[in-house]
Structures are given as C-alpha cells and as structure tokens.
Structure 1
Amino acid sequence: MQQFNQELMAYLAASPTPYHAVAEMARRLEAQGFERLREADDWSLQPGGRYYSTRNGSSIIAWRMPAARSLAESGLRMVGAHTDSPCLKVKPNPSLHRQGYLQLGLEVYGGVLLNPWFDRDLSIAGRVNYRRDDGSLGQSLIDFERPVAVIPNLAIHLDREQNNGRAINAQTFLPAIIGQADKTGDFRELLCQQLAQQGVANVAEVLDFDLSLYDTQAPALVGLDGEFLLSARLDNLLSCFIGLQALIGAGADEGALLVCNDHEEVGSMSAVGAQGPMLQQLLERLLPEPQARHRMIARSMLISADNAHAVHPNFADRHDANHGPSINGGPVIKINANQRYATSSETSAIYRHLAAQEEVPVQAFVVRSDMACGSTIGPITAAEIGVRTLDIGVPQFAMHSIREMAGTRDAWDLTRVLQRFFAEPELGMDQEG
C-alpha cells in the first residue's frame, strides 16, 4: 500500500492537465507491454494482446483481448473514469495590462470551488499548437512547472464583510497576475519561449492553445499516521490511476478494458466524452459483426469509478444519516433511484461479492432526499452502449477544490477489488423463478 501511494502521488504530480494525465498513462502502459494503436490505422488484434488508443490526447482506452475465448463468449470487464478536473483555463486572448501589472484572463471550467484558488502558487500547463519554421504544423505539451501566476485576495481592510460571505465574480475577481507591465504582452511569444526551454525547436508561431492554471503544491500524506492524501485533481485522476494499476496487475486470461474520458465535468457531450462515440466505435472495431457484439455486451459489466462524498465532521447534516461514508472506511457504492448513478441491485451484489473475497469493506452513499444528486459517466455510458453498470468511488473531502483530500487505504482497497474484477471469468448471476 505504501508503494502504491507513492506511485499515485508521482502520477498526480505528473498530470496537471488531461493531456499530461493521458501521456503519463500511455507511458506506464507501454512500459508494461501495451501496444499503441492509432485510430486512423488498420488493426490486427491477437488473442491475449494488450493495446491502447487515445483521442485528442485527452481520452484513452486500454484493453486486453481474452487469451482463449472470443469476446462474444467472454464479454468485457470494463472500468471507466474521467481525466478532467474543474479548473481555470486561459482565455484565447488573455493578456491584460492594468495598474502596472500583466494579467491573464481566465475562464471557469466545470463546477470549480473558487475560494481556494486565491493566494496560491500557480503554474500553467496544457497543449500548444504551432507552425514550424518550414511551414508544417505541430503540437506539444507544455508545462511551466514553476509558479508563474497568482490571484491575490483583497485585504480584509478593504472589504470588512469578506468573512460574512462574498460572491465571487468570475470575470472581475479571477484574472491572474503573471508579472509587471514592462513584461511582454504577447502571451503567444511567452509560449514560444517556454517551448524552446523544453527543447521544442523551430517554432515559428503559436497558433492556438488549451492551457489551464494549476497549483504547484505537491501531493502529500497528512495526518498523525499519514492516513490522508492531499492533492489537486483527486477527482478524478485518483480513479484513473486505480483503474490503470488494476488493469496492469490483473491476470491475462479475460477480456478487460479501461476507458478514461475527458469532459465529464462539463457534461461529457463531446467527441472524446462519455456521451460521444469513442467507446462505441472501439467496440465496433473489436467485434464488427453486430450480433456478436451484442452478445459480448450482454456478458459484460462496467464499473464507473468516480470519487464519493465522505461525511465532513463539521457538516454532517449534509448527509443522509444512514448513508454517510467515512474516509478509509472502504470504497463507496453510489446509488440513486432516479438514475443519476447507474448502480443496480445486481451490479452492487457482484461488487460486494468481489470485495468480500478481497476482505475489503464496502460503504454505500445515497444523497439526502431533499438535495440534488450529482452524476458520473456511469449512466451516460450505460445508456450509450447498453451495458450493466455499477457506480463506485473512493470517499473524499473538498471535492472540486484546488486541493482535495482522500484516504491512503481506500484507493488501494478499490484497486485490489478491480484487479479481481478484471480477472473474473464469469460475471453472470443465476436467476431463480
């Protein structure tokens, strides 16, 4: 478990954006013998083969072909997660010169908890598209790594009512300071300079970019016994890492698949989101014949892994009293009668059976009946491909904050159960009566 958490923190630190998260997953997959397949190429899949494919550099699917049986006979054990996290993105024309400072205009991505972004040491990372000196087009990941931006708070002396509640205006409060006004106002030129420092040569002009701010504070183990993990982007890179480690560590006999989609935090409706065609198109390539593919889906199951809300000791009244998960109390089955989560009694029972074999505790979450319920890629993927689905997650605090908190045991426990799930030869349940 200690080694797992050290590797998890390294993964989180290496993944400031979905692009970096997918690149790091691809690196780890290739180190374990997974072969990259490009969507534009013809594929030749072999029994027991291990493959992965990406789209837009921000979504990834990795899978293992069954060694002995056909996919139609074995089905697929699938785990889903998402690569994006709420954040602040750099606007296309971001440069602002005000009161002697150079600032960047920022756009809110997803349901960001905004207050924690003030007074943090921020950096910039993402993807840059450019034209080379010879006229050809290129793209590269970029990461300033060091702190280059800050969003200062207003002093309490100038707004005595701040502690009594303050509405944050995303347009006027959030522009980040990156330097004095004597610095160049050409942000694209700054990106060219940074690319050159990273060894990307022959960049004539930056054409466009997709960049986010992120907190440079490293992940850390906290608590008297180091029982808590604090980091940015636990929702939901924690689940991406869990699924990755489970897929790599599982046996090689059964068909298994990990899908990590971008854009969950903004609704999943995109070419690379869970409501897009990426997974369905891959399944069609695995089994082009419709009847065989339908047989495969009928024998398959998806576990959607996305973090759950633990009971905060200062706000226990925000939970249903009988469904209050605790950190390090075990992974949480997420249930909602209105299908905001896709868990059924069958998929829940299958998970509980697998967890019992690993001696992993199980918790359950149901939102208070007088509160709205969030959702995940689980219901979306279930509806898109018709697969039975379970929603589960590691309990955490401060979801959608710049720095979130989870337990050091829960992620390890969920990885063990998912590893058993990936290796399970049969996922069916006998029906009586």
Structure 2
Amino acid sequence: MSGIVIAGAGQAGFQAAASLRDNGYAGPVVLLGDEPELPYQRPPLSKAYLDGKADDEMLRLRPQSFFDEHRIEYHPGESLVRIRRAERQVELSSGRRLAYDHLVLATGSRNRVLPVPGADLDGVVQLRTRADAADLRRRLSGVRRAVVIGAGFIGLEFAAVAVQRGIPVSVIEATERPMSRALSVPMSSFFRAAHEAKGVRFLFDAPATRITGENGRATGVETAGAGHVEGDLVLVGIGVVPNVDAAVDAQLAVADGVLVDEQLVTSDPHISAIGDCASFPTPFADGRRVRIESVQNAADQARCVASRLAGRPASYAAVPWFWSDQGSLKLQIAGLSTPHEEAVLRGAPAGGAFSVFCFARGRLVGVESVNRPADHMAARRLLAGRIGITPEQAGDPGFDLKALASAPRSAGAAAA
C-alpha cells in the first residue's frame, strides 16, 4: 500500500500528518521536510526566539517520539523535486522515488529575492527559517545600526526587537505606509506612530536601488528618493513567493499558488495543496481566490484535507485570522479586511487599544484589533456565523458586541 505522501513539514504538512492519525487513517503516512531537523513553529522566530526568550526545544512542534508513536515516517532534509503523475510517484532531492495513493503539497513559500546590486554582501540577511533566525540573533550583538527593507509584519517585528536592544533602526518601504497590503489606513497609521515613538525611522515611497558595502560587508542602502541610509545589518523582508516549481513541472494548474477547489483538491484528483502554496476560493472573499500566509490557514486546511482523506469530505470555509506581536502591541486580524470601503473605529487609538471594523458594500469583511482580544474573538464569531452588524453598531462603544456575536441567529442576528 502506497499511502499518503506529504511534501513539506511546516505547520501545514505537520498538521496534515497528525490529523490523518487523529481521523483514524491507518495507512502509511510519509512526511518530507526540506530542513534537517524536526518540524518547528515559525511565528516565534521573529519575536521570542530572536529576542532569546525561546530556544530550539520550545520551537519544536513535537518530539521524535510523537512521530514514532503515530507511525509518521518523517524524512528530514528530503525535498520534493518532481511529481510523476502518471506513475503516482514523487522524486526526492536524494534521488529516491516514493509511490503515493494521494499526494499533499504543503511546500510553503520562500522569501522574495531583492533584485539589486549588493544583495549578496555579508550583513544582508533574511528571516524565514530557524537557521536564519539563529544567524540573525548572533549578529545582533555586534550591530551598530540596522536597516529593514520592507515594512511588513516580519520587518516590523524585527524592528521592535532591535530597538528594544538599543539598536537604531531605519525601515525603508516602497509604498506610502507600513503593512499597506494587509491593514486599513487607521491601523497602519497607528503602528507607524507607535514604532516612531520607540525610535524607529521610516522612509516611505523609497524603494531600495543598491546595497552599499566595503570589503565585502554591507554599509547601507541606496534608495530612490530618500538617498543613502547607513547600516551594517540589512534585513530584507519584501514578501514571499509560493513554492510551486514541482507543480508547474507536473502541469498542475498554477496561478500565484497551486489552484485548488473548495475541498483543496488540485487539477489532479490524487493531489491536494494546502498552506502558503495553495490558491483557493473562500466565502470570506466573495468566492475570489486567495493565498493566505498564516498558521491558522495552514492548520485548518490540513485538518480539512485529512478529514477528506479519512472519508469525511467537506468544503474549506474557516474564517481567516492572523496575528503579529510588535513589542508591547498585539495585532489580531479576523477576516480579510482589504479591500474595503469603510473603516469604523471602536475604542481609542490614543489609549493603545482599539479595533477597526472594515466594511465592503455595508457588510463586515474584517476586523483589525490591537490589544483588544475580546473584539477579535467576537469578530471571528460574527464572521463565522455571517451575523450582520452595521457600521453604526460597530462604532458605538455602548453596543454589546459580545452579546451579538453569541446570540442565536433566530434571536435577531441577520445573515450578512
């Protein structure tokens, strides 16, 4: 019996393997991991691990004994090279071939490469893997000045850690505001002000054009419009691209990710795709295809596929949610707040705890909260239950949000 092969041992791949056993699947389960170690969590890499508050042991999703006890055949340092669909086999980086009854692509994504001169200088770093984070943690002790290229989640999480350690940080961003792809203008503006209050310097509308260096080491970044920014450490955080090379080679349908249907099946019925590499339709984007880079999405899609492969198929319809810890600020997002037409504030930004309710065509599509966990939990329930809320209700501090989110739909909650 060939069983199920899972390519990728990040959060999605690991969860798929574990959930297959939780669902009673008794056949062989093979998990392939690119990195030469046990599967681990990525979110702490730019936060607690980078700051020395978490170690390698704390990052591990499970010890080796878990894989042994659950009969999960784990192959560290073995990546998928080629899919031989006609034979239902995969070819691995070691040259070995494995047969499969079903293949789950959980190949994740990789950091986007900065296409400018000097990007290969010593001192130019990225943050994606545990090894990247360990290298960056070592370097921080000798850094005089840091430059971050890209004002996204990873870049700002790193900036928060660096300034707490007394390292001056400049953040270079090609767009007009931080986290512009993910956040509303009010929340984006709040985080800009909060980071600036801690000493972070922002340069917007300033794409990097060259990384300068002396004797093979980085000394700063040349920008278009903002001149030269000095720094002996340059962190590049300009987004990711999905790992779809093997899928393209196998002629699966691909467009900014491996295309899957509502049950996460690819154009080949014997292959599924989950996590960062999958482009899927979701009711939380009016049926549009999205590709979501989050632990929640990876884990929930893994559970959905495992349930189907164990004989209990269902469409994937989990509410997307995200988080980012930046210093003392905990950002939580429920739903997909971009694009939206109206942003309504609940709470006071000046107090450091508030939410932004985002509406499109009068319907709630996403809620961004900072240090307001109750709002976040209510938002997830509202979105999951398609419970209607008006902009006026969202902005009224006296309106009982928790009661609305908890009320049975027959008691007055309207479908959105």
Q: TM-score, normalised by structure 1?
A: 0.25
